[in-house]
Amino acid sequence: MGPLPVSQLLLALISLTVALDNGLLKTPPMGWMAWERFRCDINCIDDPKNCISESLFRDMADRLVEDGWKELGYEYVIIDDCWMSRLRDEQGRLQPESFRFPGGIPKLARYIHDRGLKLGIYADMGNYTCMGYPGTTLDNIEIDAQTFASWGVDYLKFDGCNSNPVEQMLGYPLMSKALNATGRPMVYSCSWPVYQGGLPPNVNYTLLGDICHLWRNYDDIQDSWDSLQSIIDWFSNNQDDLQPIAGPGRWNDPDMLIIGNFGLSLDQARSQMAIWAIMASPLIMSNDLRNLDNSARAILQNKVAIGINQDPLGIQGRRLLKEKSQIEVYWRPLVGSTSALVFLSRRTDMPYRYHTSLAKLNYDAGNYRAYDVFGGSLVKGLNATTELTLSINPSGVVMWYVYQETQYKEETETLHRAKHGHHTFL
């Protein structure tokens, strides 16, 4: 009898895989990751403040705690590629580069845990990581999972460079099983879909939802409005496939928040925060928290935008309209029959006066109020049929949190809590 076909091997493997339901990520993860801002800077001699080192991650942990991020929910500090030694140790385990991580990962994990935060780390399902460091081949999956658990890791990003489709088909479920077997609850972020084109039928999102907490579907984000727009377009154009698969414990990941870096204007930064909130995306910042200007901080720490993102229903929002005027309308249902609306301008000329009504956006008859998330004002006396005119800046947004008049007292109290720092925002 010859070898089993790959499809049968996969089915056999899946039957052995315990679903990764460890109670984590009932809402999208929030935190900070190194990659987009600091890339693979390993030159700690000439650039000690910005190189990939334990010092950088300690600095960011300190900032998360001391500058108010942690209390808003930003809790993960995530190491990306380039942390490893070029060689595994004598027992075959991954190890950090000793000059840049002299205390080792366990010491860094304790530092982060002592501050009430959680540590994430990076590995790659392949012969080498994307930047050429030791990969996790099929025969190393179990030992790597055990190593990460022994170090106190709370989150694994598992990339897929330098691997083939068969290895990925076997390796991603195997890592889920291996993480489960450690007994340590760890978030599992899979990059599998992006290497398979991101869409069904090439990607089995039912399986992914069983074995992973979140997954990268599309290209890496770069520090530019063009990159951000391409990601928004791809997710919106494919929302019929992607929107229904997301929910508590299983999230689409359009990649990191680049707010506070170099490529976005103030309006474009608000646009990313708004769309990421609507899409129930992970809020994982990649910026320099030590040198963040007040406008970027205000966007990333906007309590109502965070509350919309963290809504416990966990329903990913959708693009409702793509107008010839280059205005797009996005909508997300929220707990308690409330909702969020985003009006996004793709224009490049001047503020655009957009005319609509809640009825045109499929709202039921009745009276409503809306809170302008970035403007900070309350819009009262809205009937569903009231003609609305919104001025939307080029490449900017207007974002509304919408509720019915009958919910006025309850929602006023909710907004008060949100604006005064209570963790249950909406």
Residues 366 and 294 in one domain: no
Residues 328 and 180 in one domain: no
Asked if residue 76 belongs to a domain, the reply is: yes
Instruction: Calculate the alpha carbon distances from 311 to 307, 315, 340, 406 in Å.
Output: 6, 8, 11, 20
Asked if residue 132 belongs to a domain, the reply is: yes
| Total tally of structural domains belonging to the chain | 2
Instruction: Calculate the alpha carbon distances from 11 to 1, 17, 180, 191, 375 in Å.
Output: 19, 10, 19, 20, 52
Sign of CA dihedral 286, 290, 292, 294: positive
Q: Are 196 and 184 contacting, i.e. CB atoms less than 8 angstroms apart? A: no
Asked if residue 424 belongs to a domain, the reply is: no
Residue 374's nearest CA partner among 217, 250, 266, 253 is 266
| Half-sphere CA count of 339, side-chain side, radius 13 A | 18
Residues 88 and 213 in one domain: yes
Number of residues assigned to the chain = 426
From first to last of the 426 residues of the chain, give the pLDDT tens digit.
444 455 555 554 554 555 677 899 999 999 999 999 999 999 999 999 999 999 999 999 999 999 999 999 999 999 999 999 999 999 999 999 999 999 999 999 999 999 999 999 999 999 999 999 999 999 999 999 999 999 999 999 999 999 999 999 999 999 999 999 999 999 999 999 999 999 999 999 999 999 999 999 999 999 999 999 999 999 999 999 999 999 999 999 999 999 999 999 999 999 999 999 999 999 999 999 999 999 999 999 999 999 999 999 999 999 999 999 999 999 999 999 999 999 999 999 999 999 999 999 999 999 999 999 999 999 999 999 999 999 999 999 999 999 999 876 666 666 666 666 544 444
Residues 66 and 84 in one domain: yes
Asked if residue 426 belongs to a domain, the reply is: no
Q: Are 145 and 107 contacting, i.e. CB atoms less than 8 angstroms apart? A: no
Helix (H, G, I), strand (E, B) or coil at 244: helix
Q: Kindly state the DSSP code that residue 90 receives in the 8-state scheme.
A: T
Residue type, 236: S
Asked if residue 211 belongs to a domain, the reply is: yes
Enter the tokens of residue 142. Answer: 């179990």
Residues 153 and 284 in one domain: yes
Residues 293 and 323 in one domain: no
Question: Cβ–Cβ contacts within 10 Å for residue 19, how many?
Answer: 12
User: To 5 degrees, how large is the angle CA 246–CA 250–CA 252?
Assistant: 55
Domain termination residue (choose one: 251, 274, 309)? 309
- Domain with 81 in it: what CATH number? 3.20.20.70
Residues 91 and 130 in one domain: yes
Task: Kindly give the pairing relationship between strand 214-216 and strand 187-190.
Answer: parallel
Residues 252 and 398 in one domain: no
Residues 232 and 322 in one domain: no
Burial class (CB in 10 A: 0-12, 13-18, 19+), 219: middle
Residue 81: alpha-carbon gap to chain centroid: 17
Helix (H, G, I), strand (E, B) or coil at 125: coil
Residues 332 and 358 in one domain: yes
pLDDT of residue 426: 44
Domain termination residue (choose one: 292, 309, 326)? 309
Helix (H, G, I), strand (E, B) or coil at 67: coil
Enter the tokens of residue 270. Answer: 């608000």
pLDDT of residue 177: 97
Domain termination residue (choose one: 249, 284, 309)? 309
- Domain with 407 in it: what CATH number? 2.60.40.1180
pLDDT of residue 413: 66
Residues 70 and 195 in one domain: yes
pLDDT of residue 22: 84
Instruction: Give the list of residues 6+ apart from residue 193 with CB closer than 8 angstroms, or none.
Output: 203, 205, 208, 215, 216, 217
pLDDT of residue 416: 66
Enter the tokens of residue 340. Answer: 């969020």
* pTM for the model: 0.94
pLDDT of residue 324: 98
- For residue 19, give its domain range: 6-309
What amino acid positions are annotated as catalytic residues?
Answer: 159, 220
Residues 216 and 331 in one domain: no
pLDDT of residue 254: 98
